């Protein structure tokens, strides 16, 4: 089990890999030029160069997350069903969803022998949250009381520590939140909540190149753009103790090259088979082929400020949704790498439900009718924005043609040359029609797919969907005193979303990877990551 | 890569000994140079074949409907996904098969000609105008103007073409054919400027230019009436050969994802879409690739023939 | 001679500054903020972005940034990548040796095969082999490198299973062969044509007639008189072509997964790592300037009529 990781970047990362096919080239063997999978008992996997130094709160893309998750363990983690499994924590409990008490397991050590204590957590979180340290994931700590003092919107921090964090004794600390958050413990599974040893504060920059964590593996070497190697940590106490001797994260920039190496036995595991090899990978790999859905969804998000979709009747969006032949597109253009969506949340998260609606069914006649009833698409034409460096062109084109054929509404792609440009247009409210949205679970609860995307004030609500009724329903859910109640409340929100159509869900992701004959027990967790510690070497 | 034409040696650096001699057309027989050339061209099979191909491409550019009734955008995934070519069905929509979107490859080939031809011709025209202008000014006036313009030329020449084009095109949000043309012209004028400068320097020392000056002709008149027509031959030679290169450049850039974009139809785009099928359905990649090559080849042969005709010394 | 070299070197300065400034300005004009892009499409805190930008000096006016960059460059500091926080010099040191290998490989291929073919054809103009060569080179020139690259990949790797489709070890000469051939083939075609044309032309030159009349052995006529004169344009072309080979590698390296400069610069462009793009581009411009100077000096060696004052 490894922690939840915000892998909205997964799409981005695979995409960078795909783009690199167009032009990449930083693949290759590991530095010693030794073929095969490295030292005996080690498992090799295609994980590219992390974008940032290896600090838990500064990593949000999938390459870095893989490495971070092997080196660090948080308080808790999730099993394949999305249920909480305590790792470093003995328990995380609350009475009122506002004050949480964390009890740590004793006897845990960092890789340098230092004991993991309550202070290791509290100091780390204070450091991560501090605006001066520029951590990308600092906003994850925003629920905690006193966050605004260490991370003001402008200017220098007023305090060095968050008042909501209190160390009780060596293995106990309490977290006081600003408001109730019934699912707060689920958030703690994200890799950002990892503790740090004391040596970190001496020189964070050097630490980022040579991290010392408390996870199942300890850091060995980082040969930039080629290889990162970690070895099993002998004194590891958690349930996810390594079953192998270590891991080599090898950098390939084309999926094809990595795949070829898996087939020829030079690489053990590939996370995603490239489009060129997808039609034949099951033949090539036999039992080694991995095909499994995970908690991620792709959507089309209308920009509700754009000329086309300003004050649009949701019926039009329902019509457009029904004009998309999800079945055929996933089977052909997408090579079965996706499963057609039937709701706003993927099946792997708590609270996923069967919605009583037909808006996800392909029905050209009804689609036309709904669009007509709703007053049509202004100008009878709209665009879908995507980044060309990400392998999205194919499905965007197919979706557009499906809509055009079924309803006569003209739909064209609005390509941005790379992800950076795509994001800038979204941030600045410059999307002209719809944009391609993607979301991978941070924590396996439906809230993550609803509140963070469709609440008026949600950071990731780039379509600027805003509906008072929805916001109120969410506020209600957040007041719930137990997780189950919150999940139920959000299920009600989801039912309402069908009427309001803040986005058009397209499909859920599947991982299409594989492994060679040298390894076994290759499993996938709920957000599509390979469970590396479980992998055994034959 | 347009800057790589065989003519480079002729024009590149002033000190090249062969350059001066080669670049100069025979000024005294200006009229007969052109008619001689035409006379030669009519008998050159390479010229005839390439002209025929180019004519065909031009018709495709302006009247694609004559070649196919299918639309390049209409997709039928359920029926035609990656359907292989049916070589017997000449000019039918399924002749060359269907691509990964279920679109007729034949229709996309026909409609894709437009982008290639427009970019090729457009860039060549712009580059010729811009380069000739800058080269003429530099060559005719000499002195500090020449130094300044020559250094400017060096600056642009020094920037690797592909890299420059990648960066320039990334700045544009809506990359239409016109944007691609402007971007390529912005980076590509240097070669013509150098050729023009060299040609003008040779021509301006000719007796008839000196005579015209002595008769008090205005600078503009001398440039337009006397210098330009006589310096034109080497410029045309370089331009026609570069044309094929610009077509290849458009395809390369579209392939890299910074050229034209869907729903525009471009062979380069189709190649980049088809690359995923290299193992599975290679025809989706090969057919547009071959089309790019044939088109570039036509223009190269055309340029070669024109060069041979205008520069008899090379024969 | 010395004065000529000095003058050329002085002229290189404004050209170098001009090209780097141009690339710098173009990078600056690109939409998309590298710091923002780091955050991905998940939620992020604008305050953090602003803070990082400030630390990196990205909030200063463009000319100030350029001055800072040049200042650093003259002290040998290429800057630091925004994302990975690695020195750009390290990235260059990783990528350049690979591309230099690839380029030299392609270059050697171009020179030997190209000049060889050119000589074979040029010595007997208008024969069958001459026509054949002309056709072959035309075909090669008309294939953009991605077409040729895919063709080779398809034939050699997928149809005949002779090689792996992509390069696994970028420092391995054997694996670099296919990409080097693809990279070099365009230049090869030009070189062959140039050599052929130039040989055919010089065959009719007066000095050749003189040499034949003097009764010199054929080996000497061709080897010394003909070759020396015919290779001048070829040398010019080759000199200016090294820079082109290095950037042409963007496409070839991509297709064959070679981790050289082309890959580095493309990736940097996508991530908006301005310092990396400008750094690599400046080096390529330098290589280009240096080779063109070298070529001009070579003239003097090859052609005694040329003397630089």
Higher pLDDT, A299 or C236: A299
Are residues A420 and A319 in contact, defined by beta-carbon separation less than 8 angstroms? no
Helical (H) or strand (E) element with A36: none
Q: Whole-angstrom Cα distance, residue B175 to residue C214?
A: 64
Query: How many domains does chain B contain in total?
Result: 1
CB within 8 A of C101, min separation 6: which ones? C171, C173, C176
CA dihedral C108, C110, C112, C118 (to 10 degrees): -170
Lowest model confidence (mean pLDDT) among A524-528, B124-128, B290-294, C248-252: C248-252
Mean pLDDT calculated for residue range A512-522: 92
> Where a domain ends, among A166, A201, A236?
A201
Banded model confidence at residue C170, pLDDT cuts 50, 70, 90: low
**Residue B92 belongs to a domain:** yes
Mean pLDDT calculated for residue range A478-500: 92
Higher pLDDT, A261 or A245: A245
Same domain, A138 and A178: yes
Q: What is the predicted pLDDT for the residue at C5? A: 83
Q: What is the predicted pLDDT for the residue at C43? A: 67
- Interchain pair A277, B279: CB under 8 A: yes
A&B contacts, CB < 8 Å: 81
Q: Whole-angstrom Cα distance, residue A408 to residue A32?
A: 58
Q: Whole-angstrom Cα distance, residue B103 to residue B71?
A: 8
Q: Whole-angstrom Cα distance, residue C266 to residue C281?
A: 11
Q: Among residues 67-86 of chain B, which lie with CB inside 8 Å of chain C?
A: none
- Residue A327, chain C, CB below 8 Å: the answer is no
Could you identify the residue written with the tokens 């996933």? A330
**Pairing relationship of beta strands A172-176 and A165-169 according to DSSP bridges:** antiparallel
Q: What is the predicted pLDDT for the residue at C9? A: 87
Nearest CB to C250 within list B6, B152, B163: B163
Distance from the B300 Cα atom to the nearest Cα atom in chain A, whole angstroms: 27
Query: How many domains does chain A contain in total?
Result: 3
> Where a domain ends, among A168, A201, A234?
A201
Q: Among residues 133-152 of chain B, which lie with CB inside 8 Å of chain C?
A: 151-152
Higher pLDDT, A275 or C309: A275
Q: What is the predicted pLDDT for the residue at A62? A: 82
Q: Whole-angstrom Cα distance, residue B16 to residue B194?
A: 13
Q: What is the predicted pLDDT for the residue at B313? A: 54
pLDDT at A105 over 70: yes
**Helix B228-256 and helix C128-142: axis angle, to 10°?**
60
Q: What is the predicted pLDDT for the residue at C16? A: 85
In this complex, which chains have at least 3 CB pairs below 8 Å with chain A? B, C
Same domain, A317 and A417: yes
- Residue B79, chain A, CB below 8 Å: the answer is no
Q: Among residues 148-167 of chain C, which lie with CB inside 8 Å of chain A?
A: 164-167
Chain A residue numbers touching B275 (CB-CB < 8 A)? 21-22, 276
Question: Six-digit token pair at A387?
Answer: 């980044």
Fold annotation for C95-302: MetI-like fold (1.10.3720)
Q: Whole-angstrom Cα distance, residue A379 to residue A96?
A: 52
**How many CA atoms within 13 Å lie on the side-chain side of A76?**
22
CA dihedral A43, A47, A51, A54 (to 10 degrees): -20
Respond yes or no on whether ipTM tops 0.85.
no
Chain C residue numbers touching B53 (CB-CB < 8 A)? none
Mean pLDDT calculated for residue range A253-267: 83
Question: Six-digit token pair at A411?
Answer: 């739909």
The model's pLDDT over C63-83, given as tens digits with 9 standing for 90+, comes to 888 888 888 888 888 888 887
- Residue A37, chain C, CB below 8 Å: the answer is no
Q: What is the predicted pLDDT for the residue at A16? A: 37
The model's pLDDT over A128-149, given as tens digits with 9 standing for 90+, comes to 999 999 898 898 999 999 999 9
- Interchain pair C139, B248: CB under 8 A: no
- Residue B170, chain C, CB below 8 Å: the answer is yes
Helical (H) or strand (E) element with A177: none
CB within 8 A of A286, min separation 6: which ones? none
Which of A25, A208, A440 is most worth mutating to test chain C (most C CB atoms within 10 A of its CB)? Answer: A25
Containing domain of residue B155, as a range?
44-310
Phi, psi of B12 (to 5 degrees): -60, -70
For the four alpha carbons of C36, A349, A481 and A451, in that order, the dihedral sign comes to positive
Mean pLDDT calculated for residue range A184-197: 93
Phi, psi of A128 (to 5 degrees): -60, -40
- Residue C34, chain A, CB below 8 Å: the answer is yes
Same domain, A311 and A414: yes
Containing domain of residue A258, as a range?
13-71+207-290+513-537
**How many CA atoms within 13 Å lie on the side-chain side of C191?**
27
Same domain, A307 and A403: yes
Q: What is the predicted pLDDT for the residue at B20? A: 35
The model's pLDDT over A62-82, given as tens digits with 9 standing for 90+, comes to 889 999 999 999 999 988 778
Q: A269 has which bridge partners?
A: A45, A515
- Interchain pair A276, B257: CB under 8 A: no
Mean pLDDT of chain A: 87
Are residues A514 and A293 in contact, defined by beta-carbon separation less than 8 angstroms? no
The model's pLDDT over C104-138, given as tens digits with 9 standing for 90+, comes to 889 999 989 998 888 888 888 778 888 888 888 88
- Residue B286, chain C, CB below 8 Å: the answer is yes
pLDDT at A310 over 60: yes
Q: Whole-angstrom Cα distance, residue A294 to residue A290?
A: 12
Chain A residue numbers touching B270 (CB-CB < 8 A)? none
- Interchain pair C154, B278: CB under 8 A: yes
Which residue, among C146, A254, C166, C183, has the nearest Cα to B253 in the 3D structure? C146
pLDDT at C165 over 80: no
Q: Whole-angstrom Cα distance, residue A411 to residue A402?
A: 9
- Residue A426, chain C, CB below 8 Å: the answer is yes
A&C contacts, CB < 8 Å: 177
Phi, psi of A223 (to 5 degrees): -100, 100
Alpha helix positions (H), A75-150: 118-129, 147-150
- Nearest-Cα residue of chain A relative to residue C260: A25
pLDDT at A118 over 90: yes
Q: Whole-angstrom Cα distance, residue C259 to residue C172?
A: 12
Mean pLDDT calculated for residue range A482-509: 94
The model's pLDDT over B173-189, given as tens digits with 9 standing for 90+, comes to 778 899 999 999 999 89
Q: What is the predicted pLDDT for the residue at A274? A: 83
pTM: 0.80
Same domain, A471 and A326: yes
Chain C residue numbers touching B282 (CB-CB < 8 A)? 154, 158
Question: Six-digit token pair at A291?
Answer: 């095909």
Are residues B298 and A297 in contact, defined by beta-carbon separation less than 8 angstroms? no
**Residue B275 belongs to a domain:** yes
pLDDT at A19 over 80: no
Distance from the B284 Cα atom to the nearest Cα atom in chain C, whole angstroms: 12
3-state secondary structure A226-246: CEEEEEECCCCCCCCCCCCCE
Nearest CB to B166 within list C154, C269, C289: C269
Q: What is the predicted pLDDT for the residue at A208? A: 92
Same domain, A495 and A407: yes
* Alpha carbon separation from A292 to A341, A356, A522, B276, B313 (Å, rounded): 15, 26, 12, 22, 69
- Nearest-Cα residue of chain B relative to residue C285: B158
**Residue B160 belongs to a domain:** yes
Same domain, A246 and A333: no
**Would you give the distance in Å from CA A303 to the centre of its chain?**
23
The model's pLDDT over C11-21, given as tens digits with 9 standing for 90+, comes to 888 888 888 88
Distance from the B207 Cα atom to the nearest Cα atom in chain C, whole angstroms: 26
Same domain, A338 and A237: no
Chain C residue numbers touching B159 (CB-CB < 8 A)? 19, 22-23, 281, 285
- Nearest-Cα residue of chain B relative to residue A387: B257
* Alpha carbon separation from A62 to A191, A493, B155 (Å, rounded): 11, 30, 41
- Nearest-Cα residue of chain C relative to residue A55: C84
3-state secondary structure A495-527: HHHHHHCCCEEEEEEEEEEEECCCEECCCECCC
Distance from the A271 Cα atom to the nearest Cα atom in chain B, whole angstroms: 18
Q: Whole-angstrom Cα distance, residue A29 to residue A20?
A: 17
Q: Per the omega criterion (within 30 degrees of 0), is the bond before B263 cis? A: yes
**CATH number of the CATH domain containing A149:** 3.90.76.10
Banded model confidence at residue A340, pLDDT cuts 50, 70, 90: very high
**CATH number of the CATH domain containing A215:** 3.40.190.10
Which residue, among B122, B149, B137, has the nearest Cα to B242 in the 3D structure? B122
pLDDT at A21 over 50: no
**Residue A43 belongs to a domain:** yes
Same domain, A19 and A33: yes
**Residue B30 belongs to a domain:** no
**Would you give the distance in Å from CA C44 to the centre of its chain?**
41
Same domain, A246 and A298: no
Q: Whole-angstrom Cα distance, residue A443 to residue A3?
A: 9
* Alpha carbon separation from A207 to A51, A122, A196, A210, B229 (Å, rounded): 15, 18, 10, 5, 70
Give the residues of chain B that fall short of pLDDT 70: 1-32, 311-315
pLDDT at A259 over 60: yes
Q: What is the predicted pLDDT for the residue at B312? A: 56
- Interchain pair A25, C40: CB under 8 A: no
**CATH number of the CATH domain containing B237:** 1.10.3720.10
Task: Give domain limits for chain C.
Answer: 2-74, 95-302
DSSP C129-186: HHHHHHHHHHHHHHS-HHHHHHHHIIIIIIIS--S-SS-S-TT-HHHHHHHHHHHHHH
- Interchain pair B252, C266: CB under 8 A: no
**Residue A7 belongs to a domain:** no
Question: Six-digit token pair at C214?
Answer: 């003097």
CB within 8 A of B65, min separation 6: which ones? none
The model's pLDDT over C188-200, given as tens digits with 9 standing for 90+, comes to 888 888 888 888 8
Same domain, A214 and A278: yes
In this complex, which chains have at least 3 CB pairs below 8 Å with chain B? A, C
* Alpha carbon separation from A168 to A118, A160, A313, B270 (Å, rounded): 8, 19, 54, 64
Which of C93, C163, C166 is most worth mutating to test chain A (most A CB atoms within 10 A of its CB)? Answer: C166
**How many CA atoms within 13 Å lie on the side-chain side of C277?**
27
**Residue B63 belongs to a domain:** yes
In this complex, which chains have at least 3 CB pairs below 8 Å with chain C? A, B
Chain C residue numbers touching B270 (CB-CB < 8 A)? none
Nearest CB to B256 within list A22, A402, A413: A22
**Residue B1 belongs to a domain:** no
Question: Six-digit token pair at C86?
Answer: 């690695």
**Residue B37 belongs to a domain:** no
Are residues A459 and A452 in contact, defined by beta-carbon separation less than 8 angstroms? yes
pLDDT at C3 over 50: yes
Q: A507 has which bridge partners?
A: A298, A340
**Residue B36 belongs to a domain:** no
């Amino acid at each position: 089990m490894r922690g939840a990781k915000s892998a909205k970047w997964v799409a981005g990362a695979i995409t960078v890999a795909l783009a690199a096919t167009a032009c990449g080239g930083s693949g290759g063997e590991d530095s010693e030029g030794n073929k095969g999978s490295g030292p005996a008992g080690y498992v090799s996997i295609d994980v590219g160069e992390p974008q940032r130094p290896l600090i838990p709160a500064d990593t949000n893309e999938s390459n870095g997350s893989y490495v971070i998750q092997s080196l660090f363990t948080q308080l808790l983690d999730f099993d394949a069903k999305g249920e909480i499994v305590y790792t470093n924590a003995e328990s995380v409990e609350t009475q009122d969803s506002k004050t949480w008490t964390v009890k740590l397991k004793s006897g845990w050590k960092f890789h340098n022998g230092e004991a993991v204590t309550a202070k290791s957590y509290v100091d780390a979180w204070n450091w991560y949250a501090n605006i001066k340290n520029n951590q990308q994931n600092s906003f994850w700590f925003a629920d905690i009381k006193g966050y605004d003092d260490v991370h003001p919107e402008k200017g220098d921090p007023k305090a060095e520590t968050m008042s909501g964090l209190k160390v009780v004794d060596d293995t106990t600390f309490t977290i006081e939140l600003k408001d109730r958050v019934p699912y707060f413990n689920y958030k703690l599974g994200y890799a950002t909540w990892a503790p740090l040893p004391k040596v970190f504060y001496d020189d964070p920059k050097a630490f980022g190149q040579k991290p010392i964590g408390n996870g199942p593996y300890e850091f060995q070497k980082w040969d930039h753009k080629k290889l990162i190697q970690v070895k099993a940590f002998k004194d590891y106490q958690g349930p996810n103790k390594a079953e192998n001797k270590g891991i080599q994260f090898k950098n390939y920039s084309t999926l094809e090259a990595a795949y070829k190496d898996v087939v020829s036995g030079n690489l053990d595991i590939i996370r995603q088979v490239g489009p060129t090899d997808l039609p034949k990978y099951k033949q090539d790999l036999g039992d080694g082929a991995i095909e499994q859905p995970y908690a991620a969804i792709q959507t089309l998000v209308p920009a509700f400020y754009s000329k086309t979709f300003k004050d649009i009747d949701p019926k039009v969006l329902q019509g457009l949704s029904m004009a998309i032949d999800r079945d055929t597109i996933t089977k052909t253009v997408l090579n079965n790498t996706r499963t057609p969506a039937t709701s706003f949340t993927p099946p792997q998260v708590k609270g996923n439900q069967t919605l009583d609606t037909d808006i996800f069914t392909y029905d050209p006649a009804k689609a036309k009718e709904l669009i007509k009833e709703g007053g049509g698409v202004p100008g009878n034409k709209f665009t879908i924005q995507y980044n060309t460096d990400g392998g999205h062109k194919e499905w965007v084109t197919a979706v557009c043609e499906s809509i055009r054929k079924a309803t006569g509404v003209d739909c064209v792609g609005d390509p941005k040359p790379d992800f950076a440009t795509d994001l800038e247009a979204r941030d600045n409210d410059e999307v002209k029609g719809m944009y391609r949205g993607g979301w991978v679970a941070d924590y396996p609860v439906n809230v993550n797919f609803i509140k963070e995307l469709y609440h008026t004030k949600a950071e990731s609500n780039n379509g600027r969907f805003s509906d008072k009724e929805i916001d109120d329903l969410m506020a209600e859910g957040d007041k719930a005193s137990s997780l189950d109640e919150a999940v139920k409340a959000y299920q009600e929100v989801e039912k309402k979303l069908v009427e309001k159509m803040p986005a058009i869900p397209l499909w859920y992701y599947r991982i299409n990877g594989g492994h060679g004959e040298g390894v076994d027990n290759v499993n996938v967790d709920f957000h599509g990551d390979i469970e590396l510690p479980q992998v055994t070497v034959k | 890569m347009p800057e790589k034409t065989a003519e480079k040696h002729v024009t590149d650096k002033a000190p090249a000994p062969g350059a001066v001699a080669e670049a100069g057309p025979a000024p005294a027989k200006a009229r007969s140079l052109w008619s001689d050339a035409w006379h030669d061209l009519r008998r050159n099979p390479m010229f005839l074949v390439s002209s025929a191909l180019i004519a065909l491409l031009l018709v495709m550019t302006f009247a694609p409907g004559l070649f196919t009734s299918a639309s390049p955008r209409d997709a039928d995934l359920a029926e035609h996904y990656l359907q292989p070519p049916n070589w017997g069905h000449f000019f039918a929509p399924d002749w060359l098969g269907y691509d990964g979107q279920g679109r007729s490859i034949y229709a996309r080939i026909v409609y894709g000609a437009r982008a290639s031809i427009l970019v090729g011709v457009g860039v060549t025209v712009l580059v010729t105008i811009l380069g000739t202008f800058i080269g003429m000014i530099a060559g005719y006036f000499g002195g500090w103007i020449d130094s300044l313009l020559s250094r400017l030329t060096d600056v642009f020449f020094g920037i690797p073409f592909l890299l420059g084009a990648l960066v320039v095109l990334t700045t544009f949000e809506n990359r239409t054919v016109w944007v691609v043309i402007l971007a390529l012209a912005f980076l590509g004028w240097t070669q013509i400027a150098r050729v023009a400068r060299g040609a003008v320097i040779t021509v301006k020392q000719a007796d008839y230019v000196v005579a015209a000056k002595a008769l008090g002709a205005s600078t503009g008149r001398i440039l337009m009436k006397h210098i330009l027509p006589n310096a034109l031959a080497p410029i045309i030679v370089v331009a026609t050969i570069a044309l094929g290169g610009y077509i290849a450049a458009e395809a390369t850039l579209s392939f890299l994802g910074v050229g034209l974009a869907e729903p525009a139809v471009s062979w380069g785009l189709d190649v980049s879409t088809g690359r995923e099928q290299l193992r599975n359905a290679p025809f989706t990649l090969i057919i547009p690739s071959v089309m790019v090559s044939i088109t570039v080849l036509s223009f190269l042969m055309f340029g070669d023939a024109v060069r041979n005709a205008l520069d008899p010394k090379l024969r | 001679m010395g004065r000529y070299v000095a003058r050329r070197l002085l002229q290189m300065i404004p050209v170098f500054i001009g090209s780097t400034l141009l690339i710098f300005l173009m990078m600056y004009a690109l939409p998309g903020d590298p710091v923002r892009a780091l955050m991905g499409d998940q939620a992020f805190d604008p305050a953090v972005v602003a803070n990082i930008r400030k630390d990196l000096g990205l909030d200063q006016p463009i000319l100030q940034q350029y001055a800072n960059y040049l200042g650093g460059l003259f002290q040998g500091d290429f800057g630091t990548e925004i994302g990975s926080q690695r020195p750009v010099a390290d990235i260059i040191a990783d990528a350049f040796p690979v591309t230099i290998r690839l380029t030299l490989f392609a270059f050697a291929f171009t020179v030997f095969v190209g000049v060889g073919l050119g000589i074979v054809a040029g010595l007997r103009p208008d024969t069958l082999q001459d026509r054949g060569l002309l056709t072959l080179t035309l075909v090669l020139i008309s294939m953009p490198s991605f077409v040729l690259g895919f063709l080779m990949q398809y034939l050699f790797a997928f149809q005949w299973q002779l090689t792996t489709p992509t390069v696994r070890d970028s420092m391995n000469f054997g694996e670099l062969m296919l990409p080097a051939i693809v990279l070099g083939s365009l230049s090869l075609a030009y070189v062959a044509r140039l050599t052929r044309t130039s040989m055919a032309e010089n065959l009719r030159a007066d000095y050749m007639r003189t040499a034949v009349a003097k009764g010199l052995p054929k080996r000497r006529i061709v080897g010394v008189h003909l070759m020396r004169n015919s290779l001048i344009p070829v040398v010019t072309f080759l000199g200016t072509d090294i820079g082109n080979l290095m950037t042409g590698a963007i496409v070839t390296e991509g297709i064959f997964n070679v981790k050289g400069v082309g890959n580095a610069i493309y990736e940097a462009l996508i991530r908006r790592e301005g310092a990396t793009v400008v750094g690599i581009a400046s080096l390529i411009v330098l290589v280009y300037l240096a080779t063109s100077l070298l070529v001009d000096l070579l003239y003097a060696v090859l052609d005694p009529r040329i003397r630089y004052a």
